[in-house]
């Protein structure tokens, strides 16, 4: 699949926003603290910017509202409905913190459930696609939820880093490290499966329906030049570049944040390293999300000869 920058920005930013909102909605962060107020504003900003980015990938953005009508059968439509619904409790909690220095446990529970449901719907928009075997797995759902929670937790730490040295901050540091390890462990499993599964149970024989005759091979490409399908659905990255990008992703998303958090835990004066760790994590997540699309194989590529006939993108 061709990685679209707008979709990468949407899933990364909105996921981080929902993750931060989830942490705040579970009662963490004194509603009277300036840091908490700024955190609520940032959560809403990330969610909004992310959702706006998603419209840039639509062929006809002005008709985006029609997607809401298919919520009974479409995960994409459910995602849109849930995203709008989540604004209500999250927005009210933000207003309560900003102007009343208060927090509502009831709204917090509702916001928590809706944040998780929205991120899950985003994941299922991809995970439900049988035509892309790499995505059609519950590891996709686990990946999106884990990344959202981890990025939200890291953002929370950047705002409350001034509390480094307190028992609470130390616990959050170690909790974030555990989240990082679990998240990238899930991503490793997903990546290995994506590489192994390829086109899944589909093949040139099943794609053309000529399997009963014997082995099918491409005699001539359907098009002399690239078209929408080959550019968007049959995009392929060279394996050597894929390996290199994946290593960089792990360094940025796992190694650097963990090192920064460990140092900040034992050296409170270097608490600013949490900010560096968070920035590195976001860079890693952006690259990981790019790979999420780049390594996936859409079954339509089989009509063009599969990987053997597709030229890897350099």
pLDDT digits (tens, 9 = 90+) for 96-121: 999 999 999 999 999 999 999 999 99
**Start-end of H helices in 68-199:** 75-100, 105-127, 138-159, 167-197
Token pair, residue 173, equals 């540091």
Res 60 pLDDT > 90 = no
Res 307 pLDDT > 90 = no
In a domain, 42, yes or no: yes
For residues 59 and 1, membership in a common domain is answered with yes
In a domain, 137, yes or no: no
Task: Quote the CA–CA distance of 307 and 3 in Å, as a whole number.
Answer: 17
For residues 185 and 314, membership in a common domain is answered with yes
* Domain boundary, last residue among 128, 150, 182: 128
Number of domains present in the structure of the chain? 2
* Domain boundary, last residue among 82, 100, 128: 128
Q: What is the reported pLDDT for 238?
A: 65
In a domain, 180, yes or no: yes
Q: What is the reported pLDDT for 165?
A: 42
Q: What is the reported pLDDT for 172?
A: 85
pLDDT band at 131 (very low <50, low <70, confident <90, very high): confident
Q: What is the reported pLDDT for 167?
A: 58
For residues 112 and 234, membership in a common domain is answered with no
For residues 292 and 232, membership in a common domain is answered with yes
Burial code (b: 16+ CB inside 10 Å, e: under 16) for 217-252 equals eeeeeeeeeeeebbeebbbbbeeeebeebbeebbeb
For residues 124 and 185, membership in a common domain is answered with no
Mean pLDDT along residues 54-77: 72
Per the CB < 8 A criterion, the answer to whether 295 and 289 are in contact is no
Q: What is the reported pLDDT for 146?
A: 97
Round the average pLDDT of the chain to a whole number and report it: 85
Identify the residue with better confidence: 63 or 275.
275
* Domain boundary, last residue among 128, 157, 177: 128
How much of the chain, in percent, has pLDDT values that exceed 70? 82
Cα angle 164, 282, 183; round to 5:
80
Q: Considering only CA atoms, give the Rg of the chain.
A: 22
The Cα-based distances of 268 to 55, 162, 165, 176 in angstroms read 42, 9, 6, 16
Identify the residue with better confidence: 180 or 296.
180
For residues 170 and 314, membership in a common domain is answered with yes
For residues 185 and 114, membership in a common domain is answered with no
In a domain, 152, yes or no: no
Q: What is the reported pLDDT for 210?
A: 73
pLDDT band at 55 (very low <50, low <70, confident <90, very high): confident
313 has which bridge partners?
237
Res 66 pLDDT > 50 = yes
Identify the residue with better confidence: 66 or 299.
299
Mean pLDDT along residues 138-156: 96
For residues 233 and 312, membership in a common domain is answered with yes
For residues 119 and 172, membership in a common domain is answered with no
Q: How many residues does the chain have?
A: 314
Res 201 pLDDT > 90 = no
pLDDT band at 164 (very low <50, low <70, confident <90, very high): very low
Task: Quote the CA–CA distance of 16 and 51 in Å, as a whole number.
Answer: 12
Instruction: Say what the pTM is.
Output: 0.89
Identify the residue with better confidence: 171 or 40.
40
* 275: exposed, middle or buried (Cβ count in 10 Å: 0-12, 13-18, 19+): middle
Mean pLDDT along residues 22-38: 90
Q: Which domain holds residue 210?
A: 166-314
């Amino acid at each position: 699949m061709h990685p679209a920058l707008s979709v990468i920005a949407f899933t990364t930013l909105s996921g981080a926003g929902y993750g931060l909102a989830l942490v705040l909605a579970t009662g963490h962060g004194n509603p009277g603290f300036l840091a908490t107020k700024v955190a609520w504003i940032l959560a809403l900003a990330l969610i909004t910017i992310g959702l706006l980015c998603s419209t840039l990938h639509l062929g006809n953005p002005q008709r985006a509202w029609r997607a809401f009508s298919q919520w009974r059968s479409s995960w994409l439509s459910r995602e849109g409905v849930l995203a709008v619904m989540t604004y209500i409790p999250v927005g009210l909690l933000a207003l309560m913190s900003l102007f009343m220095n208060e927090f509502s446990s009831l709204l917090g529970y509702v916001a928590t459930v809706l944040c998780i449901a929205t991120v899950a719907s985003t994941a299922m928009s991809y995970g439900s696609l049988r035509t892309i075997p790499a995505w059609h797995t519950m590891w996709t759902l686990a990946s999106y939820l884990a990344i959202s929670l981890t990025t939200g937790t890291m953002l929370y730490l950047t705002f409350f880093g001034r509390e480094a040295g307190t028992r609470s901050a130390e616990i959050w540091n170690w909790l974030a490290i555990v989240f990082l390890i679990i998240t990238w462990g899930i991503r490793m499993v997903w990546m290995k499966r994506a590489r192994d599964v390829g086109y899944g149970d589909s093949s040139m024989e099943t794609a053309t329906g000529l399997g009963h005759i014997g082995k099918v091979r491409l005699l001539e490409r359907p098009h002399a030049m690239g078209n929408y399908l080959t550019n968007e659905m049959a995009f392929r990255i060279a394996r050597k570049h894929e390996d290199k990008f994946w290593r960089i992703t792990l360094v940025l998303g796992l190694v650097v944040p963990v090192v920064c958090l460990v140092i900040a835990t034992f050296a409170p004066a270097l608490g600013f390293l949490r900010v560096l760790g968070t920035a590195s994590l976001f860079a890693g997540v952006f690259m990981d999300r790019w790979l999420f699309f780049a390594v996936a194989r859409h079954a339509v590529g089989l009509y063009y000869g599969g990987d053997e006939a597709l030229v890897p993108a350099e």
